Amino acid sequence: MAASLFKGNLSLVTRSFFFTQSFSCHVKIRMRAIQEAVALMAGRFPIDKDSENFSRLSRLLIDGGTEALRIVFNRLHPSLSASLSLHQRTLYGLWKPQRGKKKILTDKQWYKLYPPTGSPNIQDFDITLLFVLLRNICPSLKAPPEGWDILPSIVDNSLEANLVRIKCLRNELYGHVNAAAFKDVEFEDYWKRISLPLIALGVSADKINDLKTRPSGATGYVELLEEWKEADVDLFRKIRFVGRSVVVQSVSKEIQDSEKSISKVIQDSEKSISKEIRDLKQNVREEVIRPIHEVRQKLDDATNKDLDEAERVEFAKQEKGMWSSRSNALRRTILQKYRQCR
């Protein structure tokens, strides 16, 4: 009984020592993931004219294409709620198809169409969902001679043909995503090919010109990731200077209390040793387990405070050498008393 008690208490105290180490490891992993994301984005979207061209074309296709499809859908379905109610069975079949049929609508898309609370808002519908709606609940739209998936003839300027052009141009642009860059000549060619069907579907030429001159946002996205990385680096530094010191100071007191309790058990008579062991078990639970939760709260509070240089130096002095020496001392004491107790 004594052996299991001492070993259990040793395990509890040891776990408290490594609390901040595991927390710091979590932050390191997150920092590494952010750094990899920044490197990936920097490689995929290098800050030069060619990458800016690609970013502008992507925005024109996604933002302009989404607006164009909303214009067409609103024209065919002036009342969104009434149309969705009328075609709910059809759309449900796309969400929960019969066995052997392909699922078309995702759960996220379904709940945008039929939210648990409130009413649907077409501004929440992305370009993919709008394409699904146009093809499945707009019977007035007829597939071009080439079908819905092949680029129509250049002479076909029908509504349906321009919808298909948007989809096909999206596929072409996606084929360049690894390079993510266009020379000026290619850029101007794609810009014209995308703009013509957008204007035909109802997007204003002024809005398209604005998308062409407005900053692409690729640079801003990389900068955002950089800021996120720096924020995590700052958090990690605070954990090193604050977290470990707070935990060590709290645990060191519990080590002293545990040593006193163990000595008391050994000094008592053989007749009362069982009672003292039970008391020690309860004492360890109260003096070690409870402070672990308090340490967690202290760590949360400490990491939210700004530290000046003097405070950081003081924390560093307090933690130096305490971690390993206290741990080894407690291990030796417990094992020594345990052998005597046997």
Least confident of 7-21, 126-140, 202-216: 7-21
3-class secondary structure per residue, the chain: CHHHHHHHHHHHHHHHHCHHHHHHHHHHHHHHHHHHHHHHHHHHCCCCHHHHHHHHHHHHHHHHHHHHHHHHHHHHCCCHHHHHHHCHHHHHHHHCCCCCCCCCCCHHHHHHHCCCCCCCCHHHCCHHHHHHHHHHCCCCCCCCCCCCCCCCCCCCCCHHHHHHHHHHHHHHHHCCCCCCCCCHHHHHHHHHHHHHHHHHHCCCHHHHHHHHHCCCCHHHHHHHHHHHHHHHHHHHHHHHHHHHHHHHHHHHHHHHHHHHHHHHHHHCCHHHHHHHHHHHHHHHHHHHHHHHHHHHHHHHHHHCCCCCHHHHHHHHHHHCCHHHHHHHHHHHHHHHHHHHHC
Residue 64 has pLDDT above 50, yes or no: yes
Residue 29 has pLDDT above 70, yes or no: no
Where are the domains positioned within the chain?
Answer: 48-215, 271-334
Q: Which of 39-48, 186-195, 307-316 has the highest mean pLDDT?
A: 186-195
- Confidence category of residue 35, pLDDT binned at 50, 70, 90: low
Q: Mean of the pLDDT values across residues 313-339?
A: 53
- Confidence category of residue 249, pLDDT binned at 50, 70, 90: low
- Confidence category of residue 159, pLDDT binned at 50, 70, 90: very high
Q: What percent of the chain has pLDDT over 90?
A: 32
Please tell me the predicted confidence (pLDDT) of residue 275: 57
